[in-house]
Each structure stands twice: as structure tokens, then as C-alpha cells.
Amino acid sequence: MAETLPFSKKIAYAFGQWGWATLVSIINLQLVYFYIPPKDAGIETFITQTVFLLVLNAIVLIAASGRLLDAITDPLIASMSDRWKGKNGRRIPFMKVGAIPSAFFCFLLFVPIVPAESGWNIIWLIFVQACFYVSLTIYVTPYFALLPELGHNAKERLSLSTWISITYALGVVVAAVVPVLGDVLKEAWMLTKVQSIQYAVGILAGVATIFLLIPVWFIEEKKYCKSIDNAIEVPVMTALKRTFKNKNFIYYVVADFTYFMGFTIINTGLLYYITVLLGFEEGEVIIYLAGLIGISFVFYPIVNILAKSKGKKPLVVGSFLWLGVVFTGIFFLGNLPFSADTQAKLLILSLAVPISFLGILPNAILADIAEHDALKSGIRQEGMYFASRTLMQKFGQTVGVVLFAMLTSLGKDPGDDLGIRLSGIIGAVLCVLSGLYFINYNEKQLLQEIEDNSQ
């Protein structure tokens, strides 16, 4: 009988999320801005800014290429992890392998090999991006598969989801420190703008490495995972097909994919909204992001209380729809009849509540879906469920980056900003579609069947 995960181990598990969230958020916040900078950003151009077919540019094509590899590696790593029979468990050995390379290749994404505009930089970016996402998959897919294995019931799974939501948010805040830390290093060490960004990314990637390794060092998988001795032998394609035949998972993953598409558009545009639409300095993004995260934390206890009494589904649907309203307001930033600071604060306040709900509940819902399938079928393939979700999430993030990068061709500079304004409208539409589709998910029936099969 597996032991209940103590509080200290929950925190250790959550640190892993802090690590990879920092790396992913660095890329989400900085990569497009670094390679397609506004005219007054002080960053040299390393890849061609030429627009193809009216809306495509090099960073769009680079971002899209990475997902082709994920379509192979995500289910492959999930299947390997589900079937692994190592002495240290099924998940931790993979996380140990993926941790350091993930941080290293995140840093290399900001180190073009030619210090000027060059086609070689494009080739380098494609290669390094592929290495980063393969390494990240090796870590993240087994990491998420641990959630339903470490959480032995719905209450414990919700608790773990809450803690990793907190550390995910902290990862976003750490990533937002890049411009501030870069400015400090630039003045202290007499660096160029590009060098200051590279040094800042390198330092934070080093911190993220330690966070990634904490669950590897401190969690004894076989001691706390109830299913650790039941490694399955379902072939990878069979397991993948089983996952996508689960109607509850389909309702979940389609809504999740659409949401991440919209949210990534907004996340990628954040530095542009702060600098181009509101006229602030790059470093001020940390102030508003920290405010957003701090306010959202206030609502975390309420999320847990409401999820237990009202269910997770209605809270998620409501959050999707409310984000649609909030994201629409981005179109009007800088043109509203009050100060830029007030506009930014209103945006932060409006985002805090749905972000708190969506930070916690989706992971708990997917853990419920994976547990429900395992109890009904006798086949435990948590890794494949979370890999399938991660794969679709990555596709959504990629499409979001691609859409935003395409929109920059319609205007990304002060006085010529139509593209980044339209990004708010597109993000809003996608979030509303997510909410409307997720209404189909039958949470009450699923939880009742889990309870019936657990007795």
C-alpha cells in the first residue's frame, strides 16, 4: 500500500513545475520579442524580418517546425514512461535525464551563432528549439503522470494541482525578471542590450535547473505511487488511440487546446502591450505580472472551496468566458480615457480571478479522467493522458505564437500597432469557444463512477 504524500514532498513535487514553468515562460515572453523586436528596443536583428505571403515570417516557420517533432516524441516518451520498470520507478528516471538539457537549450535559444542577420541563425534556432522541446518532453510528460499516482483521491489530486499552480505562477514571475535583471547586469558589467538578455536568461535557467532536480532528489517514487508496480505493456499507438477514444478526454483536450492557443497569443504579446500600447519600459512588466500573480493567490483558497462544493467544470467554463471579455479590452489599451497605469491595473484585476481558477482546476480534472479510465479498464496509462494533453497544449501554444507573429506584420510599433491590438480580439474569441465546448464534459457522472469503482 502506497503511503500518503506528506506536505514536504508535495512542495518538492511543486518545485519541478516552478523549474519548467520558468523555462517555458522565458521563451513565451522573450523569444518573439528578441527576434522580432520593436524598432526602439535596442536589439539587433539576427534573422530576416521579411514577410512571406503577406503574414508569414521566419519566427513563425521556426515555431511551427518544433511541433512536428513533438507529435512523435510526446506519445513516445509517454509510452516508454508508462512501461518503464526501473528500480527508481517509472517517472523519476526520465525527469532526471531531461532536467539539465532543458535549461541548457533554453539558454542557447537566445545565443545566435552569427552576431548579425544570417540564415545560419535560422538553422541554429530550428536545431536548438528541437533539442529544447525533446528535453522538456522527457521531463514534463513523466512529471505530470506522477500527479494522479501521488494523489490517491480527488482531494489529494486537487491539493497537488493547487501547489503546482502556485509554482507555475511563480515561474512566470521569475521569467518576467529577465528585462530587469538584464538592465542591472548591463549597467554593472557594461554589456550590450543583447548580452544583458543572454546573461539574464542564463542565470535564471541555472536557477530553474535546481528547481527541476528537487523532485528527483527528494521524492521516492515507489514509496508514494500506488501504481508503480503495474507498468503496462500497451504499445504506443494502441495507448494513444485509447486516449483519444475517451469522450471525456476529447471534451477536455479540445477546450484546453483552444484555450492555450488564445492564452499564448496574449502571453506572447505581453511585452508589446506594456511597451507599445501603454508606453512603459520593458522592466515594468515584472511589476504588473507580480501584481497579477499576488492577487490570484488570494483567490486560491476560494478555488478549492468552490471546487469541492460546486464542482470543477462550471468554474472552468465561467473562467474561459470571462477571459474572453477581458482579452477584448486589450484592443483598446492606450486609448481609454484614463492613465496607462490605471488601464494596466484594471487589466490585472480582471485577469486575477480566472487565472486562479485555470491555474488549479484543469490539471485536477485531467487527473480525474486518467483515474476514471484506470479504474474502469484496469489499464494505467497516466503518462499517455498527460502526454496527449501536453502535445495538444504545445500545438495550441505553437499556433498561438504563429498567429501572434503573423499579426505583427500588421503593425507592432508605436503608432503602427493594429496587429498587436487585434491579438486581443483573437485571444478573446478562442477563450469563449473553449468555454462553450467544455460544457459537454460530464463531470458529475465521471466522479460518481470513480467513487463506485473505488469501493
If you average pLDDT over residues 404-424, what whole number do you get?
A: 89
CB 406, CB 275: distance < 8 Å: no
CB 431, CB 323: distance < 8 Å: yes
Query: Between these two residues, 392 and 139, which has the higher pLDDT value?
Result: 139
Q: How far apart are CA 341 and CA 323, in angstroms?
A: 21
Closest C-alpha among 310, 387, 428, 412 to residue 133? 387
Which pLDDT score, from 0 to 100, does residue 325 have? 94
Query: Is 4 contained in some domain?
Result: no
pLDDT band for position 79 (50/70/90)?
A: confident
Closest C-alpha among 144, 444, 400, 387 to residue 244? 387
Cell of 22: 520558468
pLDDT band for position 29 (50/70/90)?
A: confident
Query: Is 172 contained in some domain?
Result: yes
- Whether residue 212 is predicted with pLDDT greater than 90 in this model: the reply is yes
Query: Is 255 contained in some domain?
Result: yes
Question: How do residues 241-286 score in pLDDT, each as one tens digit?
Answer: 888 899 999 999 999 999 999 988 988 888 889 889 998 887 787 8
Query: Is 374 contained in some domain?
Result: yes
Which pLDDT score, from 0 to 100, does residue 56 have? 56
Query: Is 272 contained in some domain?
Result: yes
Which pLDDT score, from 0 to 100, does residue 1 have? 66
Q: How far apart are CA 129 and CA 181, in angstroms?
A: 24
Query: Is 139 contained in some domain?
Result: yes
CB 77, CB 435: distance < 8 Å: no
Question: How do residues 339-393 score in pLDDT, each as one tens digit?
Answer: 999 998 898 889 989 989 998 899 889 989 988 988 888 887 777 888 788 778 8
Q: How far apart are CA 75 and CA 321, in angstroms?
A: 31
| Paired residues of 56 in beta bridges | 52
Q: How far apart are CA 262 and CA 279, in angstroms?
A: 24
- With a pLDDT cut of 90, the percent of the chain lying above it is 43
Q: What mean pLDDT, rounded, does the chain reach? A: 87
- What is the chain's length? 455
Query: Is 421 contained in some domain?
Result: yes
CATH number at residue 437: 1.20.1250.20
- Whether residue 320 is predicted with pLDDT greater than 50 in this model: the reply is yes
Q: What is the 3-state secondary structure (H, E, C) of the chain?
A: CCCCCCHHHHHHHHHHHHHHHHHHHHHHHHHHHHHCCCCCCCCCCCCCCCCECCCECHHHHHHHHHHHHHHHHHHHHHHHHHHCCECCECCHHHHHHHHHHHHHHHHHCCCCCCCCCCHHHHHHHHHHHHHHHHHHHHHHHHHHHHHHHHCCCHHHHHHHHHHHHHHHHHHHHHHHCHHHHHHHHHHHHCCCHHHHHHHHHHHHHHHHHHHHHHHHHHCCHHHHCCCCCCCCCCCHHHHHHHHHCCHHHHHHHHHHHHHHHHHHHHHHHHHHHHHHHCCCCHHHHHHHHHHHHHHHHHCHHHHHHHHHHHCHHHHHHHHHHHHHHHHHHHHHCCCCCCCHHHHHHHHHHHHHHHHHHHHHHHHHHHHHHHHHHHHHHCCCCHHHHHHHHHHHHHHHHHHHHHHHHHHHCCCCECCECHHHHHHHHHHHHHHHHHHHHHCCCCHHHHHHHHHHHHC
Query: Is 5 contained in some domain?
Result: no
- How many structural domains is the chain composed of? 1
Closest C-alpha among 356, 291, 361, 351 to residue 325? 351
- Domain extent, residue 141, equals 10-226+235-454
Which segment of 40-54, 59-73, 249-263, 305-319 scores lowest on mean pLDDT? 59-73
Question: How do residues 165-200 score in pLDDT, each as one tens digit?
Answer: 889 889 988 998 998 999 999 999 999 999 999 999
**CA angle in degrees (0–180, nearest 5) for 359-363-366:** 150
pLDDT band for position 228 (50/70/90)?
A: very low
